Amino acid sequence: MTTNLQPYNTYNYQATKWHCLHPIWEGDETVVQQGLPHSKLAPTWQILLLGDGSPTRHLKLLTGEPTEVDVIDMSLIGTDDDNAPKQINAIAEPRLRRQVWLRTASGQRLAYAASWWDANHVDEYLQNRSLPIWESLSRLHTELYRDIQGIYYGHSKALELAFGEKGPFWGRHYLFWHRGRPLTLIYEVFSPYLCKYLGNTK
């Protein structure tokens, strides 16, 4: 994947793609609300995937290390739907896509995230690109609601290489709401390396 760190105000479409899973199974908001049978997904993993807490905070608590961010893409996509979940329509145009790795301070990749923002206002919320989204918004004392919309179990060759782990992987997508309006759409995939802390997924 091409690394593409562009200023937020660059209004050129960038062709860099993002790493969506090719699902074996997926669940909608109803499944998210009900939870999954423990035979399908272990309770510890459900807390991570279906809970409304900060994943960066959870990862720090699990590993005992600060969660750091490697920004690998900041691309203006304009009015393109970017093959994103349908909730991208809730994000105002023109849109900007951000992609990051979440890792420990010692370098272990734990998760991948793509997010979509209103390009005209993203600077207000991501003043420091190197910070996790939750930390950036917390510093601004931004009130948020994490609205989980879908969960996935599927494959990605690119993520296998990036994580150094065999798939399939678990992922999810959600909207962040702020002052009654959708602020950003986020798609996250977690590395099986987390089994070291959470136990097996089943």
Residue 7 has pLDDT above 90, yes or no: no
Q: Is residue 5 part of a domain?
A: no
pLDDT of residue 12: 34
Question: Residue 177: what pLDDT?
Answer: 84
DSSP 92: P
Total of domains in the chain: 1
Model pLDDT, residue 5:
31
36-46 tens-digit pLDDT: 999 999 999 99
Asked if residue 13 belongs to a domain, the reply is no
Q: What pLDDT does residue 10 have?
A: 33
Least confident of 77-81, 112-116, 174-178, 183-187: 174-178
What is the CB-side half-sphere exposure of residue 124 using CA atoms within 13 A?
Answer: 10
3-state secondary structure of 172: strand
Whether 32 maps to a domain, the answer reads no
Mean pLDDT of the chain, nearest integer: 84
- At 55 the pLDDT is 87
pLDDT band, residue 128 (cuts 50/70/90): low
12 domain-assigned: no
pLDDT for 119 equals 86
Q: What integer pLDDT is reported at residue 178 of this predicted model? A: 77
Q: With bands split at pLDDT 50, 70 and 90, how would you rate the model's confidence at 11? A: very low
* 188 found inside a domain: yes
pLDDT of residue 13 exceeding 50, the answer is no
Instruction: Read off the pLDDT of residues 81-115 as tens digits, 9 standing for 90 and up.
Output: 999 999 999 999 999 999 999 999 999 999 999 99
Reduce the DSSP state of residue 155 to 3 states and report it: strand
What's the gap between Cα 199 and its chain centre? Answer: 21
Question: Confidence class of residue 132 from pLDDT cuts 50, 70 and 90?
Answer: low
The answer to whether 127 and 135 have CB atoms below 8 angstroms apart is: no
Q: Give CA–CA dist 20/102, Å, rounded.
A: 16
pLDDT digits 0-9 by tens, 140-181: 445 567 889 999 999 999 999 999 999 999 999 999 887 778
Using CA atoms of 84, 85, 89, 92 in order, give the dihedral in degrees to the nearest 10: -50
Rounded (10°) CA dihedral 146, 93, 142, 68? 70
Structural domain harbouring 107: 42-198
pTM for the model: 0.84
- 139: domain CATH number? 3.40.1410.10
Query: Is residue 16 in a domain?
Result: no
Instruction: Give φ, ψ of 127 to 5 degrees.
Output: -70, -25
Tell me which of 6 and 190 has the higher pLDDT: 190
Between the alpha carbon of residue 31 and those of residues 13, 19, 35, 36, 84, the distances in Å are 35, 23, 6, 7, 20
Whether 169 is covered by a domain: the verdict is yes
Q: What is the C-alpha radius of gyration for the chain, rounded to an integer number of angstroms?
A: 16
pLDDT at 139: 52
